[in-house]
Amino acid sequence: MRPVGFFDSGLGGASVLREALHLLPNENYLYYGDDANAPYGDRSYTDIAFLTEKSVSAMADFGIKAAVIACNTATATCIDALRGAFPFPIVSIEPAIKPACETEGSGRVLMLSTAATASLPRYKHLLSTMKDPSRVVSVPCPGLVERIERGCFAADAFDDILEKHLSFLEGETIDAIVMGCTHYVFIKKAFARYASLHFRGKAELFDGNAATVRQLGRVLKANNIENPCGSAHVEYRTSGDKARLEPIFRSLIAL
Ligand code: DGL
C-alpha cells in the first residue's frame, strides 16, 4: 500500500509520473524534486551523485516501497550506486535512442540532453549498442531546464537557446529527436516548432517515459508489491519553494 517514489532534480520527472498516473492508477505516489539544487546537468558527477543519494534517502525516510529515478542525468551518473545503497527496487529512465534509431530514413537522429548525460560512460555505452551510432548527433542543451523550472512552457519561448545549440544543423535532414531529459517532454512544441523552421525530415519526437512506467509495472509485479487499491494519489515534496512550485507541478501532472 506504500507509495512509489519518483525523483528528479526538479519538475521534469512530473512528465514520467503523469504517464504512471494513466498506466498504473492503482498505485499511490510520492514525488520528490530537488529544485533547490536544479539544474543538475551542469554540475560535477560527484555533486550529482551526492545530491541524488541524499534525495533518494529522503524518499526512503518517507516510506516508499520502490523508486523511479525520473532523471536521465542522475541515472547516467549513479544508478548502480543507488541500487547498491537502498533495499527497495529502483527503476530508471534512459534516453530513448533505440526506438529513435529504428525510424526509417537516411537523416540524422538528434539526441538532446544535459551536458552531464551526454558525456557520461553510461550514455556512451548505450550509444555504442546502436546499429549505426554515427547516425546519432548528441547535443547538450544547457539553459532549457532553468527556463522550464521558472514555469515557462510556450512553444516560442526557447528559440534563442535552441538556435544557440542547434544552428550548426541548419537545413539538415533530421528523422528523429530524442528528448533525453525529462524536463524537455514539457516543451515538445518548442522542438517541433524549431524543427519545422530549420530542419528537413519529419523530426519525430521520442521519450522514454512510457517504457519506464511499463518497467515499473513489471518490477512491482515481480516483487509482489503491487497495490490492489491505491487511487493515484500524489504527495508532492520539494527541496525548493513549495508554494511556487506545487501549482506548476499539479498542472503538469494533470495535462
Ligand atoms: N530532468 C533531468 C534529466 O532528465 C535533469 C535536468 C537537470 O537538472 O539538469 O536529465
141 is catalytic: no
Q: What are 128's strand-pairing partners?
A: none
* 3-state secondary structure (DSSP) of residue 30: strand
Q: What are 33's strand-pairing partners?
A: 8, 238
Residue 53 burial (CB < 10 Å; 0-12/13-18/19+)? middle
Evaluate whether 4-93+208-253 and 97-206 have a shared fold: yes
For the 97-206 domain, the top CATH level (class) is alpha beta
pLDDT for 255 equals: 82
Domain segments of the chain as ranges: 4-93+208-253, 97-206
**Topology given in CATH for the domain delimited by 4-93+208-253:** Rossmann fold (3.40.50)
List pLDDT tens digits, range 163-205: 999 999 999 999 999 999 999 999 999 999 999 999 999 999 9
- Residue 12: how many other CB atoms lie within 10 Å: 29
- Which residue do the cell numbers 519553494 mark? 241
Query: Is this model's pTM higher than 0.95 or not?
Result: yes
- Which residue do the cell numbers 539538415 mark? 172
- Which residue do the cell numbers 544543423 mark? 169
Residue 172: which residues within 8 A CB-CB, separation 6 or more? Answer: 107, 108, 199, 200, 201
140 in ligand 1 pocket by Cβ < 6 Å? no
78 is catalytic: no
List pLDDT tens digits, range 52-98: 999 999 999 999 999 999 999 999 999 999 999 999 999 999 999 99
Mutate to test the pocket of ligand 1, among 6, 7, 9 (most ligand atoms within 8 A of CB): 9
List pLDDT tens digits, range 115-166: 999 999 999 999 999 999 999 999 999 999 999 999 999 999 999 999 999 9
